[in-house]
A and B are shown apart, each in its own frame.
Chain A
Amino acid sequence: MLMHLLTLTVVMAALIGAVLAATHHPAVPIPPDNPQTPAKIELGRKLFFDQRLSADLTISCASCHKPEFAFSDGGNAVSTGVGGRRGTRNTPTLTNVGFRQGLFWEGRSTRLELQAVGPLTARIEMDMQPEVLAQRLEAIPEYARAFREVFGEAPTLKTTTFALAAFQRTLLSYNSPFDRFQAGDDLAMSEAALRGMEVFFAESGDCFHCHVGSEFTDDVPRNNALYTVYQDLGLALATGLDEDVGKFKTPTLRNIELTAPYMHDGSIKTLREVVEHYNRGGEPNLNSDVLMRPLGLSEQQIDDLVEFLKSLTDRSFTTNPAFQPPR
Chain B
Amino acid sequence: MSKWFLFLIPLVLTSAMAAPVELKINLRIGDQPLQFGQTYQTPQGQRYQINMVKFYISEVALVRPDGREVVVDGLVLADFKRDAPTQGVSVMRMEVPPGEYRGIRFNVGVPRELNHLDATTQQMPLGINSGMFWAWNPGYIFYRLEGTALLPDGNQGWVIHMGTDSFRLPVRIHDLQTRRVRIHIPPSGGTITLNLDLAAAFQPGPGGAFLDWSRPELRQLHGLSPQTRLIMSVVYFNMSNAFSLAQ
**Chain A residues in the interface with B (C-beta under 8 A):** 33-34, 104, 106, 108-111, 113-119, 121, 123-124, 129-131, 134, 156-158, 161-162, 231-233, 236-238, 240
Contacts and interface: CB of A to CB of B under 8 A. Distances in A.
Contact of B131 (A33, A106, A108, A121): A121
A271 to B, nearest CB: 27
B130 A130 contact: yes
B166 A240 contact: yes
Interface stretch (B16-24, B26-34, B132-140): B132-140
Interface in B72-90: none
7 contacts: A113-B128, A129-B131, A130-B128, A130-B129, A157-B129, A158-B120, A231-B225
Given A111-B118, A123-B157, 18 more contacts: A34-B120, A104-B135, A104-B136, A109-B138, A110-B138, A113-B120, A113-B128, A114-B118, A114-B119, A114-B138, A121-B135, A130-B130, A156-B129, A157-B129, A158-B120, A237-B137, A237-B223, A238-B136
Contacts of A34: 120
A115 B226 contact: no
Contact of A109 (B136, B146, B220): B136
Interface in B47-73: none
B159 interface: yes
Contacts of B166: 240
Contact of A108 (B120, B129, B137, B225): B137
Nearest to A134: B129
A230 to B, nearest CB: 9
Contacts of A240: 164, 166, 224
B54 to A, nearest CB: 10
A220 B220 CA distance: 27
Contacts of A108: 136-138
A139 B146 CA distance: 27
A207 to B, nearest CB: 27
B147 to A, nearest CB: 12
A175 B157 CA distance: 45
Contacts of A238: 136-137, 164, 223
B121 A114 contact: no
B111 interface: no
A158 B135 contact: no
**6 cross-chain pairs, A with B, having the tightest CB-CB distances, nearest first:** A118-B135, A117-B135, A158-B128, A130-B131, A238-B137, A237-B223
A106 B225 CA distance: 14
Nearest to B127: A158
B128 A157 contact: yes
A115 B137 CA distance: 10
Contact of B135 (A116, A156, A237): A116
Contacts of B225: 231-233, 237
Nearest to B227: A231
Given A130-B131, A158-B127, A238-B164, A111 B120 contact: yes
B221 to A, nearest CB: 11
A124 B220 contact: yes
B136 A118 contact: yes
A231 B226 contact: yes
Interface string B139-155: 00000001000000000
Contacts of B224: 233, 236-237, 240
A240 B224 CA distance: 7
Given A157-B131, A158-B127, A233 B226 contact: yes
B48 to A, nearest CB: 16
Nearest to A121: B131
Given A123-B157, A158-B129, A161-B128, A106 B137 contact: yes
B159 A114 contact: no
A116 B129 CA distance: 12
Nearest to A235: B137
A28 B131 CA distance: 28
Contact of B120 (A33, A131, A237): A33
Interface string B95-133: 000000000000000000000001111000001111101
A40 to B, nearest CB: 15
Contacts of A33: 120-121
B223 A109 contact: no
B129 A114 contact: no
A114 B130 CA distance: 13
Given A123-B220, A124-B220, A109 B120 contact: no
Contacts of A104: 135-136
Contacts of B129: 130, 134, 156-158
A152 to B, nearest CB: 16
A123 B131 CA distance: 12
Contacts of A121: 131, 135
B196 to A, nearest CB: 21
B35 to A, nearest CB: 20
Contacts of A156: 128-129
